[in-house]
């Protein structure tokens, strides 16, 4: 519900928002990515516009270049405007670049955008990623206690109710 509310100003139709969130979660998890990262990337790339086309020809929510349909797909460029196909391509490509860069997200994001070595794009995605991270309502952020002072406890995260939970992603539930 919270993630849907966050997207409401960009995507007014409720069912479309829920489908996007569920698909982003599924495809991100399938590729071993954090869903909030994928949402941040979509925000920067297309501002959540399903039919966005860049000046370079990249298409859809994750701004996938058409040559990828020949490289890792079935050569059907029209699928880049299909929600699950676009997210599958985008997540697969980002995973490929992460593997290529030995897990260095900064360099992988640069490759994804074609701006490797330039800080603007990776920094924009990383900032957007932080805005999309989900925090379970009622959880506390705990700072380190003063030396010898009492320790505050954070409320436990409830992975079953939180589709963007790092515990849920890591645990596969």
The residues assigned a catalytic role are 45
For residue 15, CA distances in Å to 8, 24, 47, 61, 133 come to 11, 14, 18, 17, 21
CA angle 58, 61, 66 (to 5 degrees): 30
The answer to whether the CB of 61 falls within 8 A of the CB of 83 is: yes
Please name which of 118, 58, 119 lies closest in space to residue 93, comparing C-alpha atoms.
Answer: 58
Please name which of 18, 96, 86, 26 lies closest in space to residue 58, comparing C-alpha atoms.
Answer: 86
Written as one string, the DSSP assignment of 101-125 is TTT-HHHHHHHHHT-TT-SHHHHHH
Query: Mutual orientation of helices 83-100 and 14-31 as an angle, nearest 10°?
Result: 30
> Quick one: tokens of 72?
């890792």
């Amino acid at each position: 519900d919270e993630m849907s509310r966050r997207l409401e100003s960009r995507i007014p139709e409720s069912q479309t928002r829920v489908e996007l969130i569920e698909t982003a979660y599924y495809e991100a998890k399938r590729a071993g990515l954090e869903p909030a990262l994928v949402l941040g990337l979509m925000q920067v790339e297309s501002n959540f516009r399903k039919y966005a086309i860049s000046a370079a020809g990249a298409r859809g929510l994750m701004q996938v270049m058409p040559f990828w349909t020949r490289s890792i797909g079935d050569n059907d460029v029209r699928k880049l405007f299909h929600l699950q196909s676009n997210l599958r391509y985008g997540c697969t490509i980002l995973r490929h670049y992460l593997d290529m860069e030995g897990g260095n997200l900064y360099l992988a994001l640069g490759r994804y955008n074609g701006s490797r070595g330039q800080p603007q794009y990776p920094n924009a995605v990383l900032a957007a990623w932080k805005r999309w991270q989900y925090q379970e309502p009622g959880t506390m952020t705990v700072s380190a206690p003063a030396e010898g002072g009492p320790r505050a406890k954070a409320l436990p995260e409830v992975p079953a109710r939180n589709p963007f939970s790092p515990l849920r992603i890591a645990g596969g539930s």
